Amino acid sequence: MIAEKVSTPIRVELTKKSRLPQVDFDNIVFGRQFSDHMFMVDYTDGKWHDARIVPYAPIPLSPAMHALHYGQSIFEGMKAYRYNREEIYLFRPEENFKRLNNSAERMCMPQLPKEIFMDALNELIRLDQDWVPRKEGSSLYIRPFMFATDEFIGVKPSETYRFMIFTCPVNSYYTEPVRVKIETVYSRACEGGVGRAKAAGNYAAALYPARLGQQEGYHQLVWTDAKEHKYIEESGTMNIMFNIGDKLVTPPTSGTILPGITRNSVITIARDWGLNVEETSVHVDEVINALKKGTLKEAFGMGTAATIAHIKLIGYRNKKYELSDPDSSYFSHKVSKYLEDLRRGYVEDKFNWTYQVV
């Protein structure tokens, strides 16, 4: 069957038996249960072709597949929400599209046409619309990704690729305010590296230092610059912002920091509310001194999966500093609620960020 309402021809093979009845929407574990269908399209001979939606299932891979050995693999993270408790909307999907292609360029991978990205999202979410949770705080996480498929041993860009999307119903990534450790030994990214790309290898490289941090009781690390470990960069799965003396500060998205879409949304909202926001280098000493003096009012992470994640403890060089619980007067609280209301259609979308799918 060829899907209607889209301009990219997408072949659709429906699942014979939906797995939806197995989902307990009251107890969703992040990233464990996948919706019935997935999208894929292949790139060979310089062209994207054979767009299809098929039942979610393992895919056959060559042991020599390029992405497995040389790491040409990038991804995105997005969410679909119930709007006014009924219709389904995406949040700023074009930003994910642009970032995917920016990552692709850095990783020597082909550009994906916007039409394929948007049509695939529309059609996949329309088909699996019953998987979009209705409960407040839950949403459908969407994972678009691209990887190199050449069956070839040798270090050069692959000539063939696959782009895919699958989805899964989720709750918050963090279920409680987070404890973070400022990392002073390992690095996530260095100048001239691939830190600004959402490349799979960035996450793999972070696993070992993150595990060491977890063994000390932290949820996540706060990365610092690779050269001197003096400047804050981002946290494990999110960008980071501090409220110091009623000024919001966050590191600028240089080449080493992922340009987060939630980060950009938070900055835009804060400026719209007339708040003082600075995208500027944040010295670790500035954060620690503010913690000691009590002028660090709040610290929080910003990300698609993490949403707005309050930080309750910051560790630095064997010392632990606690932050007070944010009440409803705190910026992080207000912006978190506003973003949630905006995505769900409870407040006017004055920034034109929401995009209707169903």
Continuous segment of H or E residues that includes residue 101: helix 93-106
**Within 13 Å of residue 41, how many CA atoms lie on the same side as its CB?**
25
How open is the CA angle 78-85-119, to the nearest 5 degrees? 40
| 303: contact with ligand COI by CB under 6 A | yes
The residue among 77 and 110 lying less far from ligand COI, judged by its C-beta, is 77
Considering only residues 33-52, where is the footprint of ligand COI by CB under 6 A?
Answer: none
Q: Minimum CB separation from ligand COI for residue 307, in Å?
A: 9
103 touches ligand COI by CB under 6 A: no
Residues touching ligand COI: how many (CB under 6 A)? 6
One-letter amino acid at 241 equals: M
Nearest distance from C-beta of residue 171 to ligand COI, angstroms: 13
Output the six-digit token pair for 225. 């610059």
Indicate the residue whose CB is closest to ligand COI. Answer: 77
**Under a CB-based contact definition with an 8 Å cutoff, are residues 67 and 73 in contact?**
yes
Question: Nearest approach, Cβ of 351 to ligand COI (angstroms)?
Answer: 20
3-state secondary structure of 48: strand
We find the least distance from the C-beta atom of residue 301 to ligand COI, in angstroms, to be 10
- Look-up: residue for tokens 């790491």? 71
When the beta carbons of 250 and 284 are compared against ligand COI, the nearer one is 250
Per CB under 6 A, the segment of 128-136, 211-219, 304-312, 345-353 that binds ligand COI is 304-312
**Interatomic CA distance for residues 127 and 358, integer angstroms:** 10
The dihedral over CA atoms of 113, 117, 123, 124, expressed in degrees to the nearest 10, equals 140
DSSP 112: P
What are the structure tokens assigned to 248, written together?
């919001």
* Structure tokens that stand for 240 in this block: 């980071």
How far is the C-alpha of 16 from the C-alpha of 275, rounded, in Å?
53
- Count the neighbouring beta carbons within 10 Å of the beta carbon of residue 123: 23
What does the block give as tokens for 284?
């670790």
Alpha-carbon distances of 82 from 1, 144, 149, rounded to whole Å: 27, 20, 35
Question: Judged by CB under 6 A, does residue 301 bind ligand COI?
Answer: no
Binding segment (CB under 6 A) for ligand COI, from list 119-127, 149-157, 287-295, 297-305 = 297-305
The smaller minimum CB distance to ligand COI, of residues 146 and 306, is found at: 306
Distances (CA, A) of 297 to 34, 207, 300: 39, 30, 10
Q: Which of 88, 305, 339, 357 binds ligand COI (CB under 6 A)?
A: 305
CB of 305 to ligand COI, least distance (A): 3
Report the site for ligand COI in 71-90 (rule: CB under 6 A): 77
Give strand ranges (E) for 238-279: 239-244, 247-250, 277-279
Question: Please, which residue, 237 or 253, has the CB nearer to ligand COI?
Answer: 237
Which one, 77 or 169, has the nearer CB to ligand COI? 77
* 167 lies in the binding site for ligand COI (CB under 6 A): no
Q: What's the min distance (Å) between Cβ of 142 and ligand COI?
A: 9
Write the binding mask 212 to 251 for ligand COI: x where contact by CB under 6 A, - elsewhere.
-------------------------x--------------
Residue 304 found at the interface with ligand COI (CB under 6 A): yes
Residues binding ligand COI (CB under 6 A)? 77, 237, 303-306
